[in-house]
Amino acid sequence: MTQNVLILPGDGIGPEIVTEAVKVLETAKQKFNLNIELDNALVGGAAYDEFGTPLPEVTMQKAEKADAILLGAVGGPKWDELDDRELRPEKGLLGLRSGLELFGNLRPAILYPQLADASSLKPEVVSGLDILIVRELTGGIYFGQPRGIRELENGERQGYNTYVYSESEIRRIAKVAFESAQKRGKKLCSVDKANVLEVTVLWREIMNEVAKDYPDVELSHMYVDNAAMQLVRAPKQFDVMVTGNMFGDILSDAAAMLTGSIGMLPSASLDKNNKGMYEPCHGSAPDIAGQGIANPLATILSAAMMLRYSLNESAAADAIEQAVSNVLDQGLRTADIYSDGMKKVSTAEMGEAVVAALANA
């Protein structure tokens, strides 16, 4: 049966990095005889410019029908001044996540040994690093109601958001995290702010309750401020971390730098049936867009995750990850992961090198 993959390039460096990931997917398709069909649609600022909305109906319909989605990135200064916040590019991304109920966000931070020099930390602190951040993606303060900016009686304005999680929302992300930990090092650290926020007191309570169903997984709890510090001090103490939407957003960008660059961190956003959207953790990088220097590897690795989690093509996924390792062995580096003695390459050169390594594997 043909599996349909929707490609959403988005904005900024999005189209540049997605072009390379699509080349890699097309190569995998031929090499592994995959029965996949690729389609395209607009999201984010590109969709706003064309349709006046960051998530047009036609994109949502295609996304609903697709077996998996590969997205570049959305947003940029061009749209930051839009008065109606609902029309901003980021709303297109959030609309896809919540509309498709992609609550389980997996963000693996793995240090390729070849990039030990590029990591922000000393080699002995990061060598062998392999962490999985499980981020709740469709709830928490990102989606809680009420929200907005209101006028107070004294005439000044007040901005407000609401941080809420229901028991069922916590339970379902807990299950994703415990099951992930079972398949890995069997250690799960739940990150919260239960010393201050009631919503995370409940989070901690439910984590403890769900833990009873996974006696082989060792559960610990950590406050988010300490977790940020520990990620930078001694990241290898972690195996799987689970946390809410906003803390996960922040901690995953911090974890990215341990792997050498935000351009190395892929992600999967899954619903309860493992249908998913795959995207690099980074944004549209307006500061380097159009220069052909962005690192496409996080997007290429996201395509590998897509083959593994949603399309059941793990041999092709393994081969893409091996091809990425091979190009790093060859000394090829985009500017963000460059170090002395390596060969600096463009976005397209990096993509083509992965294609060649995959084709010759």
Ligand X SMILES: NC(=O)c1ccc[n+]([C@@H]2O[C@H](COP(=O)([O-])OP(=O)(O)OC[C@H]3O[C@@H](n4cnc5c(N)ncnc54)[C@H](O)[C@@H]3O)[C@@H](O)[C@H]2O)c1
Ligand Y SMILES: CC(C)[C@H](C(=O)O)[C@@H](O)C(=O)O
Annotated binding-site positions for substrate: 97, 107, 135, 225
249 catalytic residue (yes or no): yes
Q: Is 236 an annotated catalytic residue? A: no
All residues at 6 or more sequence positions from 131 whose CB lies less than 8 Å from its CB, including other chains: 108, 109, 110, 235, 238, 239, 240, 241, 255, 258
CA distance 335 to 29: 29
| Lookup result for tokens 């091979």 | 326
Interface of this chain with Mg ion, residues 23 to 52, rule: CB under 5 A: none
With CB under 5 to 8 Å by kind, the binding choice for 107 among Mg ion, ligand Y, ligand X, none is none
In this chain, which stretch among 106-114, 165-173, 191-199, 291-299 interacts with ligand X, using CB under 6 A?
Answer: 291-299
Kindly state whether residue 192 participates in binding Mg ion, applying the rule CB under 5 A: no
Query: Which of 39, 35, 45 lies closest to 65, judged by CA?
Result: 39
Query: Cis omega (within 30 of 0) on the bond before 146?
Result: yes
The conformation of residue 2, written as its DSSP 8-state character, comes to -
- d(CA 89, CA 70) in angstroms, rounded, equals 16
Catalytic position from the list 11, 67, 239, 249: 249
For residue 221, the minimal CB distance to ligand X (Å) is 27
Q: Cβ atoms within 10 A of the Cβ of 75, count?
A: 24
Phi, psi of 337 (to 5 degrees): -115, 15
Please give the full DSSP string across 282-327, using - where no structure is assigned. S---TTTTTTT----HHHHHHHHHHHHHTS--HHHHHHHHHHHHHH
Binding mask 53-82 for ligand Y (x = CB under 6 A): ----------------------x-------
Tokens representing 305? 């995750």
Answer for which of 336, 338, 351, 353 binds ligand X (CB under 6 A) is 336
Q: Which C-beta is closer to Mg ion: that of 249 or that of 279?
A: 249
For the chain, the C-alpha Rg in angstroms (whole number) is 20
Q: Which helix (H) or strand (E) holds 359?
A: helix 347-359
If one asks whether residue 332 binds ligand X (CB under 6 A), the answer comes out as no
142 is catalytic: yes
Stretch that binds Mg ion, among 31-39, 144-152, 243-251, 299-307 (CB under 5 A): 243-251
25 binds, among ligand X, Mg ion, ligand Y, none (CB under 5 to 8 A by kind): none
* Binds ligand X by CB under 6 A, chosen from 36, 66, 68, 73: 73
Binding residues for NAD(+): 283-295
- CA-to-CA dists, residue 333 to 20, 189, 263, 329, 349, angstroms: 15, 33, 11, 10, 10
- Of 169 and 249, the one with the shorter C-beta distance to Mg ion is 249
Contact assessment for residue 184 and residue 220, using Cβ atoms and an 8 Å cutoff: no
Residues of each annotated binding site for Mg(2+): 225, 249, 253
- Tokens 């050498």 locate to 260
Among 11, 20, 249, 336, binds ligand Y (CB under 6 A): 249
For residue 33, give every residue at least 6 positions away whose Cβ sits within 8 Å of its Cβ, in sequence order, or none. Answer: none
Stretch that binds Mg ion, among 5-13, 94-102, 244-252, 259-267 (CB under 5 A): 244-252
Each residue 80-109 as x (binds ligand Y by CB under 6 A) or -, in order, gives ----------x--xx---------------
DSSP 8-state secondary structure symbol assigned to residue 12: T
251 binds ligand X (CB under 6 A): no
Q: Does 75 bind ligand X (CB under 6 A)?
A: yes
Given the residues 23, 193, 214, 336, select the one marked as catalytic. 193
Closest CB to ligand X among residues 194, 323 = 323
Of residues 190 and 284, the one with the C-beta less far from ligand X? 284
Q: With respect to ligand Y, which residue has the nearer C-beta, 49 or 90?
A: 90
Q: Which of 281, 285, 311, 354 binds ligand Y (CB under 6 A)?
A: 281
- Alpha-carbon distance 336 to 212, whole Å? 43
CA angle, 73 as apex, 72 and 79 as ends, to 5°?
Answer: 140
Comparison of 192 and 249: residue with beta carbon closer to ligand Y: 249
Q: Give the separation between CA 73 and CA 84, rounded to whole angstroms.
A: 20
Q: Does 294 bind ligand X (CB under 6 A)?
A: yes
Binding site for ligand Y (CB under 6 A): 75, 90, 93-94, 249, 281, 283
Give the catalytic positions in this structure: 142, 193, 225, 249, 253
